[in-house]
Amino acid sequence: MTTATARAYPNIALVKYWGKQDEDLILPVAGSLSLTLDAFPTTTTVALDAATGTDTDIDTFSLNGAVASADATGRVTRFLDRVRELAGSETRATVTSTNEAPTGAGLASSASGFAALATAAAAAYGLDLDRRDLSRLARRGSGSASRSLVDGLAVWHAGDDAHSYAEAVAGPDMRMVIVTVDTAQKAVSSRAAMRRTALTSPFFPAWISSTEESLAAMLEACAADDFTRVGRITESHALRMHAVIQSCDPPIRYLAPTSVAVFDAVAALREQGLEAYSTADAGPNVAVIVRPEQAEDLRDALAGFGSVRLVGAGDGARLIDAG
Ligand code: DP6
């Protein structure tokens, strides 16, 4: 097979990944848990140049109809080098990708991008990988991409290369309201900020042990189908991540005043019986989990803080065309 197309969705972590024990293999300092979304997919086609007749010595990468930056292309090439190593191939590829996330929503993520690329590239280069091995492969492009191979709730295990993959976990049914409070590009990439946190935060060792504890508690809460406990862990864990990020040198602060206002508004809604819990990734936008029956009320209640989008649990990366 020499051309393949795959689709993958972003995921939002409820227990966050923040820090690597191996930057080359992208092995995390602790496990994490996320919800794969049913919106904002990335669709990626990998065509081997031998099939298209464009016999070049470089990979080409276009994103949303434009030639991608040298940085982005370099990252794709390094990822494809790993695939070529596994496949015993030297053939270059033409990679064409479209991302349906609104610009700046913090969802045009490397997670959906590398999950789709891993799935399409593995098929195009003829690798026969199961979902677990595809998750391990996607991890090499971006850690959080390992989780976008999985439907719905996914736990990504820490460990060595062979054991660090994501797999499905059962848990409470939930929806998520994404509140986009700011669409500006973030000043420090999560990759660079993660490194800075590990190197300079005095709290980093405590962050690692507390994440291990949060993940163990989260897995118990999921197994018990306990939405309230899942929510409480989600919110306190997110604030801990932002605390450790703010404690690095020089400091980084991703949450904006409006982000904090959303956390406060969600806490106030809880007092009124609308049970929801906030989280935020490396940026100012807030994702709020809620029970399905209260999801529309939550969306309406948060509409004043920015653009809001109600999403649910979606599918892990899939091959959609293998011809
Ligand atoms: C805050 O997966 O983008 O979203 O492995 O360096 O590519 P790299 O990092 P990435 O980091 C995601 C960080 C986060 C938390 C999370 O998704 O768990």
Which range among 95-99, 185-189, 260-264 shows the weakest confidence by mean pLDDT?
185-189
| Pair of tokens at residue 180 | 């986009």
Identify which of 20, 136, 139, 144 to mutate to test ligand 1's pocket (most ligand atoms within 8 A of the CB).
144
- Name which residue leads in pLDDT, 66 or 103: 66
Looking at the chain, the whole-number percentage of residues with pLDDT higher than 90 is 89
What is the Cα–Cα distance from 131 to 270, expressed in whole angstroms? 38
- 204-217 mean pLDDT: 98
pLDDT computed for residue 51 by the predictor: 65
For the CA of 194, the nearest atom of ligand 1: 6
Please give the distance, rounded to the nearest whole angstrom, from the Cα atom of residue 217 to the centre of ligand 1: 21
pLDDT computed for residue 168 by the predictor: 98
pLDDT computed for residue 60 by the predictor: 96
For residue 16, give Cα distances in angstroms to 19, 208, 269, 290.
Answer: 10, 11, 24, 18
| Pair of tokens at residue 80 | 């494809």
Please give the distance, rounded to the nearest whole angstrom, from the Cα atom of residue 282 to the centre of ligand 1: 8
What is the Cα–Cα distance from 115 to 141, expressed in whole angstroms? 8
| Pair of tokens at residue 223 | 């197994």
What are 109-142's pLDDT values in tens digits?
799 999 999 999 999 999 999 999 999 999 999 9
- 259-288 mean pLDDT: 97
What are 142-166's pLDDT values in tens digits?
999 999 999 999 999 999 999 999 9
Supply the DSSP string of 131-193, one letter for each residue: HHHHHHHHHHH-GGGGGGGSSSEEEE--SSTTT--EEE------EEEEEE---SPPSS-HHHH
pLDDT computed for residue 49 by the predictor: 81
pLDDT computed for residue 57 by the predictor: 82
For the CA of 143, the nearest atom of ligand 1: 5
pLDDT computed for residue 112 by the predictor: 96
Shortest-distance Cα residue to atom 14 of ligand 1: 281
- Enter the ipTM: 0.99
Shortest-distance Cα residue to atom 7 of ligand 1: 142
For the CA of 241, the nearest atom of ligand 1: 1
pLDDT computed for residue 55 by the predictor: 65
Please give the distance, rounded to the nearest whole angstrom, from the Cα atom of residue 157 to the centre of ligand 1: 14
Please give the distance, rounded to the nearest whole angstrom, from the Cα atom of residue 127 to the centre of ligand 1: 26
pLDDT computed for residue 184 by the predictor: 74
For the CA of 282, the nearest atom of ligand 1: 1
Neighbouring CB atoms inside 10 A of 217's CB total 16
When pLDDT is cut at 50, 70 and 90, the band that residue 50 belongs to is: confident
Nearest to 235 by CA among 252, 250, 255: 255
Q: Is the pLDDT of residue 187 over 70?
A: yes
What is the Cα–Cα distance from 114 to 140, expressed in whole angstroms? 9
Nearest to 166 by CA among 225, 96, 118, 227: 118
For the CA of 145, the nearest atom of ligand 1: 2
Shortest-distance Cα residue to atom 1 of ligand 1: 281
pLDDT computed for residue 52 by the predictor: 65
Supply the DSSP string of 203-265, one letter for each residue: THHHHHHHHHHHHHHHHHHHHTT-HHHHHHHHHHHHHHHHHHHHTSSS------HHHHHHHHH
Nearest to 179 by CA among 103, 105, 268: 105
> At which residue do the structure tokens 């695939």 appear?
83
pLDDT computed for residue 107 by the predictor: 66
Beta bridge partners of 276: 290
| Pair of tokens at residue 17 | 């990944």
What are 229-263's pLDDT values in tens digits?
999 999 999 999 999 999 999 999 999 999 999 99
When pLDDT is cut at 50, 70 and 90, the band that residue 100 belongs to is: confident
Contact residues of ligand 1, CB 6 A cut-off? 13, 16-18, 26, 32, 110, 142-144, 190-191, 194, 281-282
Please give the distance, rounded to the nearest whole angstrom, from the Cα atom of residue 206 to the centre of ligand 1: 19
pTM of the model: 0.96
Q: What count of Cα atoms within 13 Å lies in the side-chain half-sphere of residue 228? A: 3
